[in-house]
Amino acid sequence: MDLKKVDSILEKHGCRHSEVIGIMQDLQEIENYLPQEMLRYISGKLELKLTRIFDIATFYKCFSLVPRGRHIVRVCCGTACHLGGAARNLEQVKRLLNVEAGETTDDRNFSLETVNCLGTCALAPVIVVDGDYYDAVHPGKIENILSGYYNAESEG
C-alpha cells in the first residue's frame, strides 16, 4: 500500500466523514480495488468505524473488495441494450472467458462486470472494454473484440 498516495487523498478531502465515499472512490483508483489493509488504515485515520466503511463498500456497486483484472469488460444491461440482445452477449462473454459476471479470469487478464446503463443507449447493445466502446454488438462479434486485449500482457 502506497501510504503517501493514501494520505494525500485523505488530505485532499479534508479527512471529513461526509467525504468518505469520495475518498474511497479515489483510493480505488490506486489499485483498481480496495485492499483490506487500506480500509483499516483509513478507518483509523478518519476515526470512522470499519463496519461503516464496509457497509459503504458493499452497498455501492462501484467498489470492489477483491483484486480485478488488467482489462475490465463491462456489458451494458440497460433497457435499450437488453432489447438489443445484451443477455445473449453476456452469455457469450461468459462462455469465452469462463467466468460469471463480477468475477476475474484465473490469469487476472479480464474482469467481467455488468452495468445498469452507460447512457449510450443510441448505440445499443454496448460493451466497453477499458473505456473503449463497442456499439451494436452481437454474439458473433465478441470473440474478435476480446482478442484485442490478449497481446500486451503476454509477458505475464
Partner 1 sequence: MKRIGTVSGLEELRGSILKKKDPEKTIIRICNTGCRARRSSKVIAAFEREIVDQALQDRIEIKGTGCHGFCEMGPIVVVDPANIFYCRVRPEDVADILSETALKGKVLERLVWKDPHTKEPVIFEKDIPFYEKQKKIVSHNSGRIDPTDIEDYIAVEGYKALAKSLTAMTPAEVVETAVASGIRGRGGGGFPTGIKWRICSNAPGDTKYIIANGDEGDPGAFMDRSLMEGDPHSIIEGMIIGGYAIGARQGIIYVRDEYPIAIMHLSCAIKQAEEYGLLGRDILGSAFDFTLKISRGAGAFVCGEETALMISIEGRSGTPRSRPPYPAIEGLWGKPTVLNNVETFANIPQIILNGAPWYSAIGTSGSKGTKIFSLVGKVRNTGLVEVETGTTLREIIFEIGGGIRKGKRFKAVQTGGPSGGCIPISKIDMPVDYDSLREAGAIMGSGGMIVMDETSCMVDVARYFINFLMFESCGKCVPCREGLKQMHEILKNICEGRGQRGDIELLSDLAGVMTTASLCALGGTAPNPVLSTIRYFRDEYEAHIFDKKCPAGVCKNLFEYVIDEERCNGCTLCQLRCPQGAISGEKKKPHVIDRERCIKCGICYSICRREAIRVK
**Minimum CB–partner distance for residue 155 and partner 1 (Å):** 29
Give the end-to-end CA distance of the chain in Å, rounded to a whole number: 22
- Given the complex with partner 1, which of 6 and 81 has the nearer CB atom? 81
Residue 3 in contact with partner 1, rule: CB under 8 A? no
Residues contacting partner 1: total by CB under 8 A: 46
Residue 98 in contact with partner 1, rule: CB under 8 A? no
- Given the complex with partner 1, which of 36 and 79 has the nearer CB atom? 79
- Given the complex with partner 1, which of 30 and 123 has the nearer CB atom? 123
**Minimum CB–partner distance for residue 100 and partner 1 (Å):** 14
Residue 145 CB-density burial (10 A; 0-12 exposed, 13-18 middle, 19+ buried): middle
**Minimum CB–partner distance for residue 109 and partner 1 (Å):** 20
99: left (phi > 0), else alpha (psi -120 to 50), else beta? beta
- Given the complex with partner 1, which of 49 and 153 has the nearer CB atom? 49
Residue partners of 64: CB distance under 8 A and separation at least 6? 28, 32, 33, 34
- Which amino acid is residue 137, in one-letter code? V
Residue 71 CB-density burial (10 A; 0-12 exposed, 13-18 middle, 19+ buried): buried
Positions touching partner 1 (CB under 8 A) are 16-22, 24-25, 52, 55-56, 59-63, 77-85, 88, 91-92, 95, 115-124, 126, 133, 135, 138-140
